[in-house]
């Protein structure tokens, strides 16, 4: 009886949400720790840093598009989530002078990846009435009343664009710590990372959520991550010819992509252990005629 009781407590809805929340908060602490002084020389830690960053953003986008609770709760929670990720990066840089341009580039990359991951997941959620729910969740989803509409998505995109533009104007008069060419190179590199990790998000989320052949899908997703990492090595060398060796770049990008995948798969596994499941309906697909 004792073992059964412990098992029920561990797999309960509340415990799953608590464990997932604790893991997410620990990710914020990890970001703050790794962006502080003394760890930038480590190739593996660089990959873990950016993998954690993009993994958190992927989870935030997945939560808005597919997650439990009502949209009116999911959206502000996700925005606060992204704000916490950005603050963790800023707090980690506190021991050394803050490069405002690099921080803005990272901030823009966070929101851009969030939008790029959110869009395809939102489209799938609309087409197939997809939603992650718990059997005991009140008001289970039936239809699209709690999902995004085109108007809400356009308003959100405009809000983010306006916020980023205002941020650019606000920091325009700050003193930059590095030459002007540095932040432009970083912008291109962050853009490459954002697109690559947004592409990786969909198969990784699918591998965690689908009920059948999860192990096979996970292996395929990790293999795909490795292929994307090799492509990133080539693109990085093209964007910044003078830099780390190809072996170092391969180690960074492999660690980055796998770390993002691990964050997504672990959080989803915790939710599945708590009884959360992905529901969808093929019959509800709104395909163009």
- Per-residue pLDDT 10s for the chain (289 aa) are 444 444 444 457 888 888 999 999 999 888 888 876 444 447 788 888 889 999 999 999 999 998 877 788 888 889 889 988 888 887 765 444 456 666 777 778 888 899 999 989 888 888 888 888 877 765 444 444 444 455 555 555 555 555 555 444 444 433 334 444 455 666 677 788 888 888 888 889 988 888 778 888 888 988 999 999 998 888 887 777 776 778 888 888 999 999 999 999 999 999 888 888 888 766 555 444 3
In a domain, 289, yes or no: no
Asked, for residue 153, whether it belongs to a domain, the answer is: yes
The answer as to whether 172 is a domain residue is yes
Closest CA to 71 of 16, 153, 161: 153
Domain of residue 201, residue span: 12-284
Q: Does 129 reside within a domain?
A: yes
Three-state secondary structure along the chain? CHHHHHHHHHCCHHHHHHHHHHHHHHHHHHHHHHCCCCCCCCHHHHHHHHHHHHHHHHHHHHHHHHCCCCHHHHHHHHHHHHHHHHHHHHHHCCCCCCCHHHHHHHHHHHHHHHHHHHHHHHHHHHHHCCEEECCCCCCCCCCCCCCCCHHHHHHHHHHHHHHHHHHHHHCCCCCCCCCHHHHHHHHHHHHHHHHHHHHHHHHHHHHHHCCCCHHHHHHHHHHHHHHHHHHHHHHHHHHCCCCCCHHHHHHHHHHHHHHHHHHHHHHHHHHHHCCCEEECCHHHCCCCC
Q: Residue 7 falls within a domain, yes or no?
A: no
How many domains are there within the chain? 1
Residue 54 domain flag: yes
Q: Are 131 and 141 in contact (CB under 8 A)?
A: yes
**What is the reported pLDDT for 282?**
60
* pLDDT for the residue numbered 143: 41
Q: Determine, yes or no, domain membership for 247.
A: yes
Flag whether 4 is in a domain. Answer: no
């Amino acid at each position: 009886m004792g073992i059964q009781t412990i098992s029920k407590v561990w797999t309960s809805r509340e415990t799953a949400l608590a464990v997932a929340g604790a893991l997410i908060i620990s990710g914020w602490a990890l970001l703050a720790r790794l962006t502080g002084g003394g760890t930038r020389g480590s190739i593996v830690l660089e990959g873990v840093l950016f993998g954690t960053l993009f993994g958190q953003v992927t989870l935030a986008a997945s939560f808005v598009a597919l997650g439990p609770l009502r949209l009116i709760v999911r959206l502000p929670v996700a925005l606060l989530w992204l704000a916490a990720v950005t603050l963790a990066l800023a707090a980690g840089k506190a021991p050394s002078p803050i490069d405002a341009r690099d921080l803005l580039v990272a901030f823009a990359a966070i929101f851009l990846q969030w939008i790029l991951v959110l869009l395809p997941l939102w489209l799938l959620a609309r087409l197939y009435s997809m939603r992650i729910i718990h059997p005991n969740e009140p008001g289970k989803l039936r239809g699209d009343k709690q999902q995004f509409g085109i108007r809400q998505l356009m308003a959100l995109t405009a809000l983010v664009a306006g916020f980023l533009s205002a941020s650019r104007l606000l920091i325009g008069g700050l003193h930059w710590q590095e030459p002007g060419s540095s932040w432009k190179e970083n912008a291109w590199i962050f853009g490459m990372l954002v697109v690559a990790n947004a592409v990786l998000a969909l198969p990784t989320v699918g591998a965690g959520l689908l009920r059948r052949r999860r192990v096979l899908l996970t292996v395929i997703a990790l293999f795909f991550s490795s292929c994307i990492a090799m492509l990133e090595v080539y693109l990085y060398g093209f964007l910044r010819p003078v830099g780390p060796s190809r072996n170092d770049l391969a180690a960074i990008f492999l660690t980055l992509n796998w770390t993002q995948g691990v964050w997504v798969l672990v959080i989803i596994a915790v939710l599945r252990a708590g009884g959360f499941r992905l529901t969808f309906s093929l019959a509800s697909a709104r395909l163009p005629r």
